[in-house]
């Protein structure tokens, strides 16, 4: 049985989630965390590799959006050229932003996935909302004591998940 800290899938990089994979899960909208999921905190704009992945998803009919706990300035700069649906200051793991999106978009929760790098914010929020939760390892850990502490707590959970993923 899945619990609130367990993602539906865990892969080493965002690009490992292909358009075909997402389509086969019935996903029509992929909501992405930005920091440490798609780029590092130091990248103000999407990388060429990331743009190529977005294009692949869009060509397969999957819409991409951003849901970030970072502020408006960071998210709008990152999204400037793309103009995707974007929610800064999302306050994950609180569910209000995703629930608002589901209501406003008219999408069913089965049609929406959320991709992120943190169990206690990204996975927790997605599971609580009933959307598909996709996890990647953080691109670059932020070396503050608080983040290191959270990563330390996450490690055994990810290890447990990877060890048991086949038996789900």
Structure-block tokens of residue 115? 């991709």
- The region of 57-65, 98-106, 116-124, 160-168 touching Mg ion under the rule CB under 5 A is 116-124
Q: How far is the CB of 42 from Mg ion (least distance, A)?
A: 13
Contact 139/49 with Cβ under 8 angstroms?
Answer: no
33 is an interface residue for Mg ion by CB under 5 A? yes
Q: How far is the CB of 13 from Mg ion (least distance, A)?
A: 14
Q: How far is the CB of 33 from Mg ion (least distance, A)?
A: 4
Query: Residue 36 or residue 95: which is nearer to Mg ion going by CB?
Result: 36
- The region of 5-13, 36-44, 49-57, 142-150 touching Mg ion under the rule CB under 5 A is 36-44
Query: Residue 148 or residue 164: which is nearer to Mg ion going by CB?
Result: 148
Among 10, 14, 19, 36, contact with Mg ion (rule: CB under 5 A): 36
Q: Is 37 left (phi over 0), alpha (psi -120 to 50) or beta?
A: alpha
Q: How many other CB atoms are found less than 10 A from the CB of residue 71?
A: 10
Among 28, 31, 35, 88, contact with Mg ion (rule: CB under 5 A): 35
Binders of Mg ion among residues 42 to 101 (CB under 5 A) are: none
Q: Which residues bind Mg ion (CB under 5 A)?
A: 33, 35-37, 117
């Amino acid at each position: 049985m899945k619990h609130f800290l367990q993602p539906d899938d865990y892969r080493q990089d965002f690009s490992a989630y292909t358009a075909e994979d997402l389509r086969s899960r019935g996903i029509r909208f992929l909501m992405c965390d930005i920091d440490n999921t798609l780029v590092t905190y130091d990248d103000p704009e999407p990388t060429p590799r990331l743009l190529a992945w977005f294009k692949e998803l869009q060509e397969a009919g999957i819409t991409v959006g951003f849901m970030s706990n970072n502020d408006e300035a960071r998210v709008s700069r990152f999204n400037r050229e793309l103009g995707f649906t974007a929610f800064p200051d999302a306050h994950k793991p609180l569910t209000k932003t995703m629930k608002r999106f589901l209501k406003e978009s008219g999408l069913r929760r089965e049609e929406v996935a959320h991709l992120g790098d943190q169990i206690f914010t990204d996975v927790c929020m997605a599971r609580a909302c009933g959307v598909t939760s996709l996890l990647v390892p953080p691109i670059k850990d932020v070396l503050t004591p608080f983040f290191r502490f959270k990563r330390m707590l996450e490690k055994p959970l990810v290890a447990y998940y990877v060890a048991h993923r086949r038996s789900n």
